[in-house]
Amino acid sequence: MPHLELLMSLLAGFAGGLIGTLWGSTVSPGLLARGGTTGSRALRLDTARRLLAGGLLYGASGAALGFLFWLSWALVALVGAPWPAVGVLFGLLCWTGGALPVLGLMRLRLQESWRVVVVLGVEWLVGCLAVGTLCALTWHRIV
């Protein structure tokens, strides 16, 4: 049974990561384009190669988060919580510990505009919440 849980957590995490890719290729470019260019950096259009690379990055990140979910035994300390709450909490924890520091450093060190930081932050938040929710659903169905 643990092997099935691990495999399903990895697959759920990968699928959740791909939701981040979908958001990043459909919603984020429109939000970023409304502000024009940021400094000397222009918004780069997605090519098939860039979409594939982004999908692999999001998928691998999602699978890593799925593995982390499996290692945490689906946040076993939250015994009475419904599975959607566990998934959302896990997604928020992952976003807070992983994406938020990077976004903050983009703003502080690279002096990226708040608009860009917020758009990318929401993109990663959607991905993290999707990973957490899909992993929690998987565990709810298996256990």
Q: Are 70 and 9 in contact (CB under 8 A)?
A: yes
Please, how many CA atoms are within 13 Å of residue 121, restricted to the half-sphere of its CB?
A: 18
* Token pair for 47: 């090519």
Q: How confident is the model at residue 80 (pLDDT cuts 50, 70, 90)?
A: confident
Task: State yes or no: pLDDT of 39 exceeds 60.
Answer: no
Q: How many structural domains comprise the chain?
A: 1
pLDDT for 32 equals 84
Contact 83, 137 (CB under 8 A): yes
Question: Is residue 90 predicted with pLDDT exceeding 90?
Answer: yes
Residue 38 backbone phi and psi in degrees, to 5: -110, 105
Distance of alpha carbon 120 from alpha carbon 14, whole angstroms: 19
Domain membership of residue 138 as a residue range: 2-142
Q: Which residues contact 14 (CB under 8 A, 6 or more apart)?
A: 59, 60, 62, 63, 66
The C-alpha angle with vertex 138 and arms to 16 and 25, in degrees rounded to 5, equals: 10
125-137 pLDDT tens trace = 999 999 999 999 9
pLDDT of residue 43: 65
- Here the tokens at position 23 are 């958001």
What band does 36 get if pLDDT is binned at 50, 70 and 90?
low
3-state secondary structure of 62: helix
Give the tokens for residue 82: 């419904």
Give the pLDDT score at 56. Answer: 93
pLDDT at 120 over 80: yes
> To the nearest 5 percent, what fractions of the chain are helix, strand and coil?
75, 0, 20
Nearest CA to 69 out of 3, 119, 13 is that of 13
> What's the whole-number average pLDDT of the chain?
89
